[in-house]
Amino acid sequence: MPVPHRPPPYAVWPTLRAVTTSDYAAYIAALPRVLAGAAVLLRNDEGLVLLVEPNYREGWGLPGGTIESDLGETPRQAARREAAEEIGLDVEPGALLAVDWVPGEGRPPITAYVYDGGVLTEERLKTIRLQEEELLSWRLVAREDLPRFLLGSLGHRVLAALDALEAGTGTVELVNGLPPVS
């Protein structure tokens, strides 16, 4: 089968040169915005999930936070950096367990990435040092108790990530913490 004819890349250069830097900046500024965050799912030897309690909002969460995409940070790098900042542990993120599209009112939607952070030994748990500017405490929580601590779509997201981890099914796509409806 013949390959369709395409003009060489340089054939469009005159058109591209006509676009000014300010035109491009205006175009980029008019694009929709999406926030992005990344977290690690950490467990102990018994399968309890490590949660952190932030001081700036209600509920608990996984160690994680905003992806500094303006600085070129990737979701995986952000998950590692945030774990180091929030709990003082250098955690190499493993498999990507979940990607969640979370629409919101009064803010742009959020894309949330959850990575497998692995299992922490008792010795490693003892070395946790909280980022006092953002966190009040941490605790280990059984799966069945997670909905009491994790509000809204976050609770569904963490349970879906645990399911993906346990089943070995790979990354799960979510919308507001639930499988998308076609």
Q: Is the dihedral of CA 39, 51, 156, 54 positive or negative?
A: negative
Separation of CA 178 from chain center: 15
**Cα gap 124→120, rounded to integer Å:** 6
Q: Which residue, chain included where needed, has tokens 């979940």?
A: 98
The CATH number assigned to the domain with range 33-175 reads 3.90.79.10
CB 71 within 8 A of CB 112: no
The gap between the terminal CA atoms of the chain, to the nearest Å, is: 34
Chain segment 82-116, per-residue pLDDT in tens: 999 999 999 999 999 999 999 988 999 999 999 99
Please give the structure tokens belonging to residue 23: 């035109």
Please give the structure tokens belonging to residue 119: 């299992």
Which of 10-14, 51-55, 85-89, 139-143 is the least confident region?
A: 10-14
Alpha-carbon radius of gyration of the chain? 20
Q: pTM score, two decimals?
A: 0.86
Q: What is the pLDDT of residue 10?
A: 47
Chain segment 22-53, per-residue pLDDT in tens: 788 888 888 888 999 999 999 999 999 999 99
Q: How confident is the model at residue 73 (pLDDT cuts 50, 70, 90)?
A: very high
Q: What is the pLDDT of residue 100?
A: 99
Q: What is the pLDDT of residue 2?
A: 52
Domain ranges of the chain: 33-175
Q: What is the pLDDT of residue 15?
A: 52
